[in-house]
Structure formats: C-alpha cells, structure tokens
Amino acid sequence: MGLNATTGTVLGFLLSGPRTAWDIDQRIGGSVGHFWNVTRSQVYRELPQLAADGLVRVQSGGGKGERRTYAITAQGRMAFRRWLAEGPPAETRRIPILLITFFGAELEPGRLAEILDRTRAEVTAELDGYEGLGALLADRPFERATLEFGIRYAELVRDWIDEVARPLVERGTEN
C-alpha cells in the first residue's frame, strides 16, 4: 500500500484541512505544480481511490454530481509520513529543449534559433512570475527553498541559451 509521488502530493494538500478536488488542484498548480506536474484528472481520480483505501474520507457532498469535500484520516496522515520519509523516487528527466538541441544539426539553423528564442521568452516570463513571490513565503522556508530552485533553474536555462545554444546557431542565421 505504498503511495506514489502524485498520490502523496494530493494527500499532502489535505494536511492543512479538508478540501475539494478543485481546490487541491488549484493549490498544486500554484506551488508544487512548478516542479511536479499533476493534472486535474489525476486529482479527481485519486481522491475516491484514497477514500476506498481509508486514507481520506468524504466530509460532505456524497451525492451524484455534487461537490465533494475530502478530509484526511489518521491512517492517511501516517501513510503520508511514511511516503515522505521514504525519500524521493528515481528521477525521470524530460527536457524537451535539449532533445531538440541534441538533433540540432538536422534542423535549419533559422528554425532552431526561433525555437531557442521562444524557450527563452517562456523562461524569462516564468522568472517574472516568480518576482516578489519570495516575500510572501518568508514564513515558509521549505516552500521558499523550492522557489529559489525554480529561480535558479530558469536562470540556468536562460543563460545556457544565451551563452551556449544561441551562439552555436548564430553563424547560420545572421538575421
């Protein structure tokens, strides 16, 4: 009955009080979602499953088509802690821009330049989004630490594009 990371995350968002699937999804999107992708469907689907396993219980709204609020159970709390203490699962990396770059020689330089520029724009937008967020997390040091990682990562991508990838393609584009 070991949890996986996605299930563990959902459970973790019930620690601070009963919530609906929608609410959990929103909160994930604004926080861990930046580094642990979870879809809305997963949240909606895991919750009844967790209920069946007794880790969560429906606090209100059992009826058909009705808004359901879930609360974590004592057993759920234990399962969460057990999962967390296990340590991180093996990381599976999937960084699309590197895949494209890897095959860069097969692509017209102009197109690769466009793709890199687009990624750069996305990543600087992400950086802007993080702006000022650190202050809000002053009293949540662990969450703040993950934000710090996010900032450093976005900067890494930006700088790698500027210093490594883009210069590689400069020759062929000279626009």
Partner DNA sequence: GGCGACATGTAATTAGTTACATGATTAT
Partner DNA sequence: ATAATCATGTAACTAATTACATGTCGCC
Give the binding site for a copy of itself (CB under 8 A).
5, 8-9, 12, 15, 31-32, 34-37, 80-81, 84-85, 87-108, 111, 114-115, 118-119, 140-143, 145-146, 148-149, 152-153, 156, 159-160, 164-165, 168
Pick what 127 binds: a copy of itself, DNA, none; C-beta below 5 to 8 Å, kind-dependent.
none
CB of 42 to DNA, least distance (A): 5
CA distance 163 to 157: 10
CA distance 70 to 44: 11
User: Does 41 sit near DNA (CB under 7 A)?
Assistant: yes
Residues 6+ apart with CB under 8 A from 33: none
> Do residues 117 and 100 lie in contact, with contact meaning Cβ atoms separated by under 8 Å?
no
Pick what 44 binds: DNA, a copy of itself, none; C-beta below 5 to 8 Å, kind-dependent.
DNA
User: Does 28 sit near DNA (CB under 7 A)?
Assistant: no
User: Does 44 sit near DNA (CB under 7 A)?
Assistant: yes
75 CB-contact burial (10 Å; exposed 0-12 / middle 13-18 / buried 19+): middle
> Do residues 112 and 55 lie in contact, with contact meaning Cβ atoms separated by under 8 Å?
no
Interacting residues with DNA (CB under 7 A): 4-6, 20-23, 26, 37-42, 44-45, 48, 61, 65-68, 92, 94
